[in-house]
Chain A
């Protein structure tokens, strides 16, 4: 047998023996090759570092907006903003919560119109950032700007920011604007032989709570509650701490004999701090026969001085 025949024989034997394996391996290889080519042709998805997360709360433990509400909330704000931008006052006003209409605008559309006109002096743009979420109340920062893309900030650059809150009212998202969140009715009262104090309600913004209080002097004497001669004369008890009323740091609260007066006690308190106020305390109620503004020692000259608690949790 010559060399050619031997090679031919060897190749024939080789393919007879390994032909099937070669075909199987080749098919597998071909499949891998085709898949590889296909994957190579799929456009590469390029992701970038992006710090913009408008639907994630800025505050730690600020909760999340449920995914099912994200689009609805964004659409609601867009609709409200466009109404304001286009001066469709009534449509925008109707998107506010009933409490907001009452508290901020006294149920008067013309007051809301004034607000809109003061902010929307020209066509504006906005951006929205979720801030905090508590008990199905979603607090956002709404930042309103001139159309800086169209002006390049030539006409100025002064972003206006306010907190807005969205909550469901009659199965529809409604807005509270200008930082106002809600009002809560209390109708709690405390009474003794000298004084009757009723806490009717509170108005809540993201950073403060304002308690609407009626005080009645039942005596024929003067009752000094605040004259800034003592520290923290009105406090809000939050369990682990007491906070002084912020709107009496330069004011006095003295009830004349038999006088009834309505006041608002304002305290710093974050809406999402998860602290429940338990009492409002008039720390140093002083009863005096006579009162003069020049008296800087009402504590020393009072007939009686005592602290007076109004429980906010009693039934």
Chain B
């Protein structure tokens, strides 16, 4: 009986050792392949992996949202770029034809966006689906100053995929 138990334990130990060896071999092999591909810049790889993980988490989160929440998230992303004065990222979200019509250059866009408050609060009045487009009616306010003028605006969003979208909006000339 004792001998049988010892034998079973030995079988398990051998299998575990085998599994660990194979896992280590595969990990080494993958790392080596990555290094070969990227010239061994480990830091960049780690950073990239972390970014990818974060992106995957965001993507999963957005995918679980309702259409309404997704649209609010997308416009929220655009607004947060404006608040952070990251105009380039916001500009990249614009629909190409819209850019050509109203903001041919980043500078034009940046100048126009100066009319937005520094700290932005967005109130969503309506979100309407028009085929593959969404039309949002929003009120843009200053979080800390209720005396400033409220900007009423329509925003058009096309969802290209999860967390991938283009934006155009009503321009006051």
Contacts and interface: CB of A to CB of B under 8 A. Distances in A.
B130 A127 contact: yes
A259 B148 CA distance: 72
A33 B27 CA distance: 13
Interface string B46-86: 00000000000001101101110010000000000000000
A42 interface: no
Contacts of A154: 102, 170-173
B19 A150 contact: no
Contacts of A127: 130-133
Contact of A46 (B7, B63, B133): B63
Contact of B7 (A18, A26, A148): A18
A22 B97 contact: no
Interface stretch (B36-44, B116-124, B139-147, B155-163): B155-163
A128 B131 contact: yes
A157 B154 contact: yes
Interface stretch (A48-56, A171-179, A307-315): A48-56
A151 interface: yes
Given A17-B7, A151-B168, A46 B131 contact: no
A3 interface: no
A52 B168 contact: no
Chain B interface size band reads 35 or more
A154 B156 CA distance: 10
A150 B168 CA distance: 7
B130 A159 contact: yes
A147 interface: yes
A150 B19 CA distance: 57
A21 interface: yes
Given A46-B60, A150-B97, A143 B168 contact: no
Contacts of B106: none
Q: Kindly list the 6 A-B residue pairs having the minimum CB-CB distance in the complex, ordered from nearest.
A: A127-B131, A152-B168, A150-B97, A153-B154, A152-B169, A154-B171
Given A29-B18, A48-B65, A152-B95, 9 more contacts: A18-B11, A25-B15, A30-B22, A126-B131, A143-B130, A147-B97, A149-B95, A152-B155, A152-B170
Interface of B: 7, 10-11, 14-15, 18-19, 22, 26, 59-60, 62-63, 65-67, 70, 95, 97-98, 100-102, 129-133, 135, 154-156, 158, 162, 166, 168-173
